[in-house]
Amino acid sequence: MNRDSLLHDLQALLPAGSVVSDDAELLVYESDGFTIAHARPAAVVFPTTTAQASDVVKLLAKHDAQIVPRGSGTGLAGGCVGFENGVVVSTSRMNRIIEIDIPNRAAHVQAGVRNTQLSNAVAAQPGGAPLHFAPDPSSQSASTIGGNAATNAGGIHTLKDFVSSNHVFGIEIVLPDGSIATVGGQNACCEAGPFDLPGLFCGSEGTLGLITALWVRLAPKPVAYRTIVGIFDNSTDASSTVAEIIAAGLLPAAMEMLDGRMVRVVEEAFGFGFPSNAAALILTEIDGTDELLDAQMQMVADIHRRHHAISLETSSDAATRAKLWKARKATFGAIGRISHSYCTQDACVPRSTLPAVLQRIDEIGREFGLQINNVFHAGDGNIHPIFLYDDRDEWQVQNTLLAAEKVLKFCVDIGGTITGEHGVGVEKLHLMPYLFDPATMALFERVKKAIDPQERINAGKLIPSEKLHVNLLKPGRHVPQ
Does residue 82 sit in the same domain as residue 146? no
| Residues 313, 382 share a domain | no
Q: Are 374 and 260 found together in one domain?
A: no
Confidence check: pLDDT of 191 > 70: no
**Residue 471: predicted pLDDT:** 84
Query: Tens digits of per-residue pLDDT, 439-474?
Result: 999 999 999 999 999 999 999 999 999 888 788 887
Q: What are phi and psi of 410, to 5 degrees?
A: -65, -40
Q: Does residue 287 lie in a domain region?
A: yes
Residues 345-386: pLDDT tens digits?
Answer: 999 999 999 999 999 999 999 999 999 999 999 999 999 999
What is the average pLDDT across 160-171?
Answer: 94
The Cα–Cα gap between 24 and 243 comes to: 50
What is the C-alpha separation between 299 and 449, in angstroms, rounded?
51
Residue 468 phi/psi, 5-degree rounding, is -150, 115
| Rounded alpha-carbon distances, angstroms, from residue 392 to 310, 340, 398 | 41, 9, 11
**Is 438 within a domain?**
no
Does residue 210 have a pLDDT over 60?
A: yes
Q: Over pLDDT 90: what percentage of the chain?
A: 84
Query: What's the rounded mean pLDDT across residues 62-69?
Result: 96
* Res. 34: pLDDT tops 90: yes
**Backbone φ, ψ for residue 418 (5° rounding):** -85, -5
Query: Which secondary structure element, helix H or strand E, spans residue 439, and what is its range?
Result: helix 438-451
Q: Are 112 and 71 in contact (CB under 8 A)?
A: yes
**Which element (helix H / strand E) includes 350?**
none
Q: What dihedral angle (degrees, nearest 10) is formed by the CA atoms of 17, 52, 151, 169?
A: 140
pLDDT tops 50 at residue 479: no
Please state, in angstroms and rounded to a whole number, the distance separating the CA atoms of residues 397 and 462. 21
Give the residue from 299, 314, 333 where a domain finishes.
333
Looking at residue 293, which CATH number applies to its domain?
A: 3.30.70.3450
pLDDT value at residue 475:
54
Pairwise CA distance, residues 346 & 33, whole Å: 13
Q: pLDDT-based confidence at 137, cuts 50/70/90? A: confident
Band of pLDDT at residue 3, cut at 50, 70 and 90: very high
Identify the pLDDT of residue 333: 84
Cα distances (Å, whole numbers) of residue 369 to 92, 197, 362, 366: 40, 45, 10, 5
Q: What is the pLDDT of residue 341?
A: 95
Residue 446 lies in a domain: no
Residue 476 has pLDDT above 60, yes or no: no
Helix-helix angle 354-368:394-413, to 10 degrees: 150
User: E strands, 327-391, where?
Assistant: 341-344, 347-348, 372-377, 382-383, 385-389
Q: How far is CA 443 from CA 53, 208, 242, 457, in A?
A: 29, 14, 36, 18
Amino acid at 212: T
Task: Give pLDDT, residue 279.
Answer: 96
Nearest to 161 by CA among 222, 205, 106, 111: 222
Q: Confirm whether 294 is domain-assigned.
A: yes
CB-count burial class (<10 Å; 0-12, 13-18, 19+) for 368: buried
What's the pLDDT tens digit per position in 248-288?
999 999 999 999 999 999 998 888 888 888 999 999 999 99
pLDDT bucket at 428, cuts 50 / 70 / 90: very high
Number of structural domains the chain divides into: 4
The CATH number of whichever domain residue 402 belongs to comes to: 3.30.70.2740
The per-residue pLDDT for 195 is: 86
Nearest to 79, CA basis, from 171, 151, 149, 177? 151
399 and 366 in a single domain? The answer is: yes
Rounded Cα distance between 114 and 125, Å, is 17
Q: In terms of DSSP H, where are the helices of 271-309? A: 290-306
Judgement on whether residues 172 and 62 belong to the same structural domain of the protein:
no
Split at pLDDT 50, 70, 90, the class of 314 is very high
Average confidence (pLDDT) over 15-35? 96
- Cβ neighbours, 10 Å, residue 25: 11
Q: Are residues 54 and 28 in the same domain?
A: yes
**Is the domain of 118 the same as that of 214?**
yes
> What is the span of the domain harbouring residue 396?
339-423
CA distance 297 to 317: 13
The CATH number of the domain holding residue 127 is 3.30.465.10
Using CA atoms, how far residue 429 sits from 161, 204, 206, in Å, is 28, 13, 14
DSSP 3-state of 87: strand
| Confidence grade of residue 478 (pLDDT, cut at 50, 70, 90) | very low
Look at residue 196 and tell me if it is in a domain.
yes
pTM score, whole prediction = 0.94
SS3 for 319?
A: helix
101 and 216 in a single domain? The answer is yes
Q: Which pLDDT score is estimated for 409? A: 98
Cα gap 456→86, rounded to integer Å: 10
Answer whether residue 76 shows pLDDT above 90: yes
Rounded Cα gap, residues 128 and 337, in angstroms: 40
CA distance 412 to 285: 29
Q: What is the DSSP letter of 362?
A: H
Phi, psi (rounded to 5 degrees) for 174? -90, 120
Q: Please report, rounded to a whole number, the percentage of residues in the chain having pLDDT higher than 70.
A: 98
Where among 220, 251, 277 does a domain terminate?
220
Q: What is the pLDDT of residues 99-116, one digit of tens each?
A: 999 999 999 999 999 999
Looking at the structure, tell me whether residues 228 and 240 fall in a common domain: yes
> What pLDDT sits at residue 466?
83
Q: Is residue 80 over pLDDT 60?
A: yes
Same domain, 243 and 215: no
Q: Are residues 252 and 353 in the same domain?
A: no
292 with 391, same domain: the answer is no
CATH code where residue 47 lies: 3.30.43.10
175, part of any domain? yes
Better-predicted residue by pLDDT, 290 or 146: 146
- Quickly state the pLDDT bin for 481 (edges 50, 70, 90): very low
- Could you give the 3-state DSSP secondary structure of residue 47? coil
Q: Which of 77-81, 230-234, 290-294 has the lowest mean pLDDT?
A: 290-294
Residue 480 reports pLDDT greater than 70: no
Q: Which of 194, 220, 246 is the last residue of a domain?
A: 220
Q: What is the DSSP letter of 65?
A: P
State residue 126's pLDDT score. Answer: 94
> Residue 196: helix, strand or coil by DSSP?
coil
